[in-house]
């Protein structure tokens, strides 16, 4: 399975898709209200099947709701069900149940087997209307789902999930293994001795973001000037997002071209955000690892994660001595056993490489990759 994303041509007929997105938002909020009412009356969770059956009856009597396909309505119910199941499972960790959303900010709806048809070239039929999109790459494989997405700027994208049966095989091109340690001052420290600095795109654009936010706060609610200021602020954030993501893709290709096996330490991103806030959000470690995993899978390379509790910084790479404690402010320390001076981040990268490479002989490492804690 892989997802392909295409941008729709700007056209007047796109207003029909935006109306469908608004209708999907209304249906979503109505489904949330039904869930809350059902629990208040019966004290039980409303099943997804009952909700789908009820909404199907309401949809037949509501012409506005019919702008959204029946399968899209079923997908909305499934999204809500997934949100509640996540809440039931992780509510002790701070997870919250699904809640109401602003209709104009509702982002997407998904069509599965019906409701769309590719007409060849860059033409796509959704419902009774034909739309054009920027076909930047061929669509190969069996199309499973099609999702219409709306950005804060009002632009529309088509996301297509295809079933590509070709599975890449592991190709040993360089036969090189590297360990990487994340840092706040330095984005990546490699066991091979080089460091990669993060451009920190949000920090670079922070003055423009603050200025746009201040202009938005001065505008009258509901006015055209406020909508213009809102789009200006959204445009600044989108520029930061696009620059960061472009840099991540280029870096992922550089690392996978240079190494066959890349070893990282599992991260508790939520805990890091509580400690360092915007700094961690700007570095976006989790987003980079997702992109790296995709590029590595495509090229037949391996991404290995070691246990987050392994003392990579406190363990001397040369003799294996483990310190009892090591403050975060200490960047270099001397081993009391072998008396060698270690750089904190460089020593951690070497230990990550050693522990990660020790798992290569145990089955298929790709199947043993744990999820990143978000």
Does any domain span residue 235?
Answer: no
Does any domain span residue 294?
Answer: yes
pLDDT higher for 330 or 367? 330
Q: What are the structure tokens assigned to 140, written together?
A: 């190969």
Strand 108-111 and strand 116-120: the pairing is unpaired
| Residues 130 and 182 grouped into a single domain | no
| Residues 135 and 277 grouped into a single domain | no
| Residues 275 and 329 grouped into a single domain | yes
Instruction: Quickly state the pLDDT bin for 278 (edges 50, 70, 90).
Output: confident
Does any domain span residue 64?
Answer: yes
| Residues 10 and 40 grouped into a single domain | yes
Instruction: Quickly state the pLDDT bin for 296 (edges 50, 70, 90).
Output: very high
| Residues 83 and 132 grouped into a single domain | yes
Q: What is the pLDDT of residue 120?
A: 84
| Residues 189 and 68 grouped into a single domain | no
| Residues 142 and 291 grouped into a single domain | no
Instruction: Quickly state the pLDDT bin for 2 (edges 50, 70, 90).
Output: confident
Does any domain span residue 85?
Answer: yes
Average pLDDT estimate for 360-372: 42
Lowest mean pLDDT: which of 12-21, 270-279, 296-305?
270-279
Q: What is the pLDDT of residue 250?
A: 96
Does any domain span residue 171?
Answer: no
| Residues 8 and 148 grouped into a single domain | yes
pLDDT higher for 367 or 351? 351
Q: What is the pLDDT of residue 300?
A: 87
Does any domain span residue 202?
Answer: no
Does any domain span residue 43?
Answer: yes
39: domain range? 2-163
| Residues 139 and 274 grouped into a single domain | no
Q: What is the pLDDT of residue 362?
A: 40
Per the CB < 8 A criterion, the answer to whether 149 and 155 are in contact is no
Residues 6 or more apart whose Cβ sits within 8 Å of residue 275: none
Nearest to 59, CA basis, from 71, 48, 41, 49: 71
Q: What is the pLDDT of residue 168?
A: 55
Does any domain span residue 28?
Answer: yes
| Residues 152 and 274 grouped into a single domain | no
pLDDT tens digit sequence for 187-198: 999 988 889 998
Distance CA 356, CA 350 (A): 10
In total, how many domains does the chain have?
2
| Residues 135 and 188 grouped into a single domain | no
| Final residue belonging to a domain, choices 141, 163, 185 | 163
Instruction: Quickly state the pLDDT bin for 219 (edges 50, 70, 90).
Output: very high
Nearest to 38, CA basis, from 79, 82, 76, 84: 84
Lowest mean pLDDT: which of 22-31, 35-44, 221-230, 324-333?
324-333
Nearest to 299, CA basis, from 199, 179, 171, 191: 171
| Residues 93 and 136 grouped into a single domain | yes
């Amino acid at each position: 399975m892989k997802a392909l994303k295409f941008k729709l041509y700007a056209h007047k007929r796109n207003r029909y898709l935006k109306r469908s997105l608004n209708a999907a938002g209304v249906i979503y909020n109505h489904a949330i209200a039904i869930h809350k009412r059902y629990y208040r009356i019966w004290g039980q969770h409303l099943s997804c099947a009952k909700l789908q059956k009820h909404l199907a009856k309401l949809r037949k009597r509501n012409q506005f709701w019919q702008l959204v396909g029946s399968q899209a309505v079923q997908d909305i119910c499934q999204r809500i069900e997934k949100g509640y199941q996540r809440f039931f499972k992780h509510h002790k960790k701070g997870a919250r149940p699904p809640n109401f959303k602003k209709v104009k900010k509702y982002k997407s709806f998904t069509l599965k087997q019906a409701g769309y048809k590719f007409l060849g070239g860059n033409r796509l039929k959704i419902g009774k209307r034909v739309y054009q999109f920027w076909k930047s790459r061929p669509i190969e494989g069996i199309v499973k789902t099609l999702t219409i997405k709306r950005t804060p700027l009002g632009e529309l994208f088509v996301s297509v999930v295809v079933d590509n049966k070709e599975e890449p095989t592991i190709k040993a091109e360089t036969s090189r293994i590297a360990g990487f340690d994340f840092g706040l001052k330095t984005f990546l420290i490699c066991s091979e001795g080089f460091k990669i600095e993060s451009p920190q795109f949000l920090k670079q654009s922070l003055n423009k973001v603050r200025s746009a936010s201040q202009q938005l706060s001065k505008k009258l609610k509901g006015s055209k000037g406020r909508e213009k200021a809102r789009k200006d602020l959204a445009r600044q954030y989108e520029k930061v997002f696009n620059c960061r993501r472009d840099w991540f893709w280029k870096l992922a290709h550089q690392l996978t071209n240079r190494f066959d096996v890349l070893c990282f330490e599992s991260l508790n991103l939520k805990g890091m955000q509580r400690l360092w806030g915007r700094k961690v959000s700007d570095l976006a470690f989790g987003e980079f690892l997702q992109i790296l995993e995709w590029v590595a899978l495509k090229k037949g390379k391996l991404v290995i994660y070691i246990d987050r509790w392994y003392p990579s910084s406190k363990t001397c790479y040369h003799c294996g001595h483990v310190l009892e404690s090591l403050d975060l402010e200490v960047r270099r320390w001397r081993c009391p056993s072998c008396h060698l001076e270690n750089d904190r981040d460089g020593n951690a990268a070497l230990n990550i490489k050693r522990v990660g490479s020790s798992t290569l002989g145990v089955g298929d490492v790709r199947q043993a990759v744990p999820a990143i804690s978000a």
